[in-house]
Structure 1
Amino acid sequence: MSARLGVRHRYWTMFAAAVALLVPGCAPEPAESDEDDAAHERGHIAGMAAHHICSGVFVVGRDYERSVDEVVAQDIRRFDIFDWQDDFEYAVNFETRTASVSGDGFRARFAEYNGDQGCTILPAGLEDVTYEPRVVERRSPDPEVTAWPTGDVGAYHDPPPPEIDMDALEAALDWTMAQSEHNSRALVVIYAGKILGERYAPGFTRNTPQISWSQGKSVASALVGAAIQAGHLDAGLDDPAPVPEWHGEGDPRREIRLRDVLNMSSGLDFLNLGLGNEDSWTHDNQHFRIYFEGIDVFEHAIDQPMDRAPGEIFRYRNSDPLTANRIVRQAVEARGEDWLTYPQRILFDRIGARNYVLETDAWGNFIITGYDYGSAWDWARFGLLHLWDGVWPTPDGGSDRILPEGWVDFVSTPAPGAEERQYGGLFWLNRGGSLPRAPEDAFWAAGFMGQYTVIIPSYDLVIVRLGPSPGDISAYLSDIIGEVTAAIDR
């Protein structure tokens, strides 16, 4: 189906839109209709597809031309997990900067591009987002005249360190990109603070923002740490999580600590049904609803009961990192500061990351658990920040502590409830040996379909790999790490 440019059509209820615009924080659930369950599920599939088309064109496409048809073919239809339907039709309106997906029996779904806030799925009942989009100014110094790592000058080893077998390293990079079934679009290896090698698929560069999926959970962790270090969030890891709705008399959620939230061990009942099964696109899939329904993701996250004691068990649930991000938002806005520009100011500018786009729901909440975009060099810098214990070297020769002392130790230590020692503070860990060819101290930000930023302190190494890969690619990641570390004589 070819992309068709056309008039944007929307379906909304004027009363619901007026309420949402006049009452801050009012977040109606998607309007119910006479559609049956199957139609609702098809609409949910279409909602995620509309988002991917919008972001593929307007977010990823900021730095290079890429046709709408290619986005649909390469990012959606080729993957069975997205359940593209044969009768779906899609359109992009470049004037209104919207994408739509329609089909038989359900209301068309729309996603709207809002500049530095990326693309937002519009829920039934709203014609537009309820907040005023912001321009996010990038205030890092000019990278062309600023030394690495904040700038780009001197980013590469020249010559390579003598302990590096460059032939073996080049072979490892070539092998990684040659595994065509994995669709690698970016690969960067940073050793001893500088780049040893990199590879990019055609049409992608070191500065192309790519969907990073749940790597954003690790950004959520870093934002909590940066806010604490800056004095903007007055909370410690063992303090009760500052979520006012949880602190009513007799509410068991008042026992949830900030540590539990960051360990993804809050105990909230937040069902994760994954994708690829018959219930994936239903309302019951609490974990994935945020990606296809157009709901207020922060309110959805906190408005859940508990079914396990805090800290008892690690369970991969979007509720916890979304709650962490909501905690920071409330603290920032209580200071009278702008939330939408805060991550750039408090974190990204300070490490020279210029291409991050954190997308929002219609109420200005970052869907930081999956709808986040970053470039290969953005993620390289993020990895270096954690390799260097949260301290960043400044262009004037000084240093800037961005994360609290001991924060990196916390995020790279297994959560008490992670029986396989595989998860820490919104980072994955190799303490249990899940990646056989990786050192035990490796920890990484990981996103759906194989988005990785791996930090290996024992090798002074950061590896970034981006691109949509089908299925379980942990063995692929293990082999990438194994091939790269084999080229370093330690």
Structure 2
Amino acid sequence: MRSTEGPTHMQPAIDFPADHSGAVIPLHLVLGTAAKVLCSAVFLSGRSIEDARRHSLVHALFVHHLHDVLYDLVRVEVDGEERSVTVSVVLDRPGVEQIVKGYRAYYADLDANWQVESERLLSLGAVSRTARFTGDQGSVILPPDDRPLGFEPVPVRTTLPDPATQEWPMGDLLGGAGVSAVDRVLVAAAIDAGFRGDLAATAAVVVLHRGEIVGERYRDGIDAHTQLESWSMGKSLTGTLIGVLIQQGHLSLDQPAPIQEWQGDGDPRATIRIRDLMQMSSGLLYSGQDDPRQRWPLAVPEHLYIYSDTVDAFERAIGSPAEHPPGTVGRYRNCDPLTLGAIIRRTVTEKLGENYHQWPQAALFDRIGIRRQVLETDWHGNFLLTGFDYGTARNWARLGLLYLQDGVWEGERVLPEGWSQFVSTPAAAWPEPCYGGQFWLNRTREFALPEEAYFMAGYGEQRVFVVPSADLVIVRMGHRSDTDAPREATNAMLRLLMEAVGSA
């Protein structure tokens, strides 16, 4: 069954040519991101295409700063039988003029031959990209040809019983005598503030006090079982999996990163430690959104390229040359968590001899009550936890609770002793005390929480706040961040939650 949403004046779209090296405006990459995000929204989260287009499409286009230009030009086709989504844009002269004008306005300092770029876009006629849902490995962006998927998807199954038969936090049964005396009316008022305004696009909020759910709410069409886009909160999940391997004795924080490609004579990358990667201080050369537009390869920064095409994300990160000595410059770059991801994959498959795609469920999720957490992959089967991961709000609350308890769950140590302190300690190489070990820190008081709070963070104002002094975990999930409304609503909620806890 097929459904189409968007402009109906489309001519048949042609797939992009293999070589887009001359592109200034990378529509083939922009649409790759959009197709993946929409495919996951529909087939993984179970949202309607109308809702996904209204919120998640804007968000996906905003990644590349083309949301204002492309939103009304995009045509979306959903194929229920193939479980795929195709996103297309017609490239007639009015459309091209609109796209070029919008792109030039945002990248005003970019020196390019805009006439040549306009003619290049016109010559394409149209551009389309498709993503397909694979099952428990989520959705992947497809190449333009008929190559088979670069890995074999596998089912991921929990060994836990029905969550309705177990009490929180191992299950979903709530009630009974709680340990929190917080005023639930004040908590409800705080959550009201977090959902206020359509532009906030808040999808879910879960509040834990002393391990107990004291507040929980979902937007219409979403519930406690909905797998929600989590974006870069997956970086903290990558760090957590590294912590699991360290606790099991397979890795150590200060060992040189076990990357064979870095072990050649005189290779400066040989001194990069797992600690440096955890603190995003590896010094690898890898362009980001804060670099000048002229430095971006393929017309997008390396930081975003992995979300847009069929690239092997791990190999691309590992292949990055050294730019700075490790531990001297702290920057937000996907190469570091991707390299950690490669270490996880190689350790699990080569050292442990276990199935890579199934390992996180047994090694982490089943141990803390998470029945399903979808870790999406690139086309080659690498977990793309820098941005493509889906979990319920309660799942993320459980992960936050694990950190609040310093990695101990029901008496069993899951993460190394002191791991929570490590991830919440400022990384020395960063110019400000805002980043720890794959977690962000509130030392700069960006949020209306105590300075000692630390948090998982993802695009779209995805947040899991851990506040040890207040015995709090706060999960906020949403669909977009193209305005200030999500941040304002989140901070309004946090201020009221701290008042509620203070009155307990």
Please state if 1:169 is matched with 2:187. yes
User: Per the alignment, in what secondary structure is the counterpart of residue 463 of structure 2?
Assistant: strand
Please state if 1:3 is matched with 2:22. no
Cα deviation, residue 426, structure 1: 0.2
Retained in 1: the 8 A contact 2:34–2:60? no
- Residue 110 (structure 2) aligns with: none
Please state if 1:332 is matched with 2:351. no
Cα deviation, residue 45, structure 1: 1.2
User: Per the alignment, in what secondary structure is the counterpart of residue 176 of structure 1?
Assistant: helix
- Residue 483 (structure 1) aligns with: 496
Instruction: State the alpha-carbon separation in 1 of the partners of residues 425 and 305 from structure 2.
Output: 30
Cα deviation, residue 175, structure 1: 1.5
- Of 286, 306, 320, 1:270 maps to 286
Retained in 2: the 8 A contact 1:11–1:127? no
Retained in 1: the 8 A contact 2:224–2:393? yes
Q: Which amino acid aligns with 1:307?
A: E
User: Per the alignment, in what secondary structure is the counterpart of residue 198 of structure 1?
Assistant: strand
Instruction: State the alpha-carbon separation in 2 of the partners of residues 202 and 339 from structure 1.
Output: 35
Please state if 1:425 is matched with 2:437. yes
Please state if 1:364 is matched with 2:381. yes
Instruction: State the alpha-carbon separation in 1 of the partners of residues 500 and 333 from structure 2.
Output: 37
- Residue 417 (structure 2) aligns with: 405
Q: Tell me, which stretches of 5 or more residues in structure 2 are unaligned?
A: 7-11, 92-123
Retained in 1: the 8 A contact 2:56–2:480? no
Q: Which amino acid aligns with 1:56?
A: A
Instruction: State the alpha-carbon separation in 2 of the partners of residues 427 and 151 from structure 1.
Output: 26
**1:192-207 correspondence runs (5 A):** 192-207=210-225
1:404-441 residue CA offsets vs partner (Å, 9 max, x unmatched): 11111111111111232111010001123332x21111
User: Per the alignment, in what secondary structure is the counterpart of residue 272 of structure 1?
Assistant: coil
Evaluate the alpha carbon distance shift between residue 250 and residue 124 of structure 1 in structure 2; reply closer, same or farther with a 3 A threshold: farther
- Of 49, 70, 85, 1:68 maps to 49
Question: Structure 1 length as normaliser, TM-score?
Answer: 0.87
Instruction: State the alpha-carbon separation in 1 of the partners of residues 146 and 245 from structure 2.
Output: 32
Please state if 1:353 is matched with 2:370. yes
Instruction: State the alpha-carbon separation in 2 of the partners of residues 218 and 47 from structure 1.
Output: 25
Retained in 2: the 8 A contact 1:301–1:319? yes
1:310-353 residue CA offsets vs partner (Å, 9 max, x unmatched): 11121000000111011011011012210011111111111111
Instruction: State the alpha-carbon separation in 2 of the partners of residues 31 and 400 from structure 1.
Output: 54
Q: Which amino acid aligns with 2:149?
A: V
User: Per the alignment, in what secondary structure is the counterpart of residue 236 of structure 1?
Assistant: coil
Instruction: State the alpha-carbon separation in 1 of the partners of residues 20 and 212 from structure 2.
Output: 58
Please state if 1:49 is matched with 2:51. no
- Residue 473 (structure 2) aligns with: 462
Q: Which amino acid aligns with 1:372?
A: D
Retained in 2: the 8 A contact 1:122–1:128? no
- Of 135, 143, 155, 1:135 maps to 155
- Residue 393 (structure 2) aligns with: 376
- Residue 243 (structure 1) aligns with: 259
Cα deviation, residue 179, structure 1: 3.2
Please state if 1:223 is matched with 2:208. no
Retained in 2: the 8 A contact 1:433–1:440? yes
Cα deviation, residue 94, structure 1: 1.2
Cα deviation, residue 400, structure 1: 1.7
- Of 301, 304, 309, 1:285 maps to 301
Instruction: State the alpha-carbon separation in 2 of the partners of residues 195 and 243 from structure 1.
Output: 42
The count of aligned residue pairs is 454
Q: Which amino acid aligns with 2:309?
A: E
Cα deviation, residue 299, structure 1: 0.6
Instruction: State the alpha-carbon separation in 2 of the partners of residues 276 and 149 from structure 1.
Output: 46
Q: Tell me, which stretches of 5 or more residues in structure 1 are unaligned?
A: 13-29, 394-398
Q: Which amino acid aligns with 2:206?
A: V
Retained in 2: the 8 A contact 1:391–1:402? yes
1:47-75 residue CA offsets vs partner (Å, 9 max, x unmatched): 111111211111101xxxx3323322221
Instruction: State the alpha-carbon separation in 2 of the partners of residues 447 and 213 from structure 1.
Output: 5
The alignment yields a C-alpha RMSD, in angstroms, of 2.6
Q: Which amino acid aligns with 1:353?
A: I
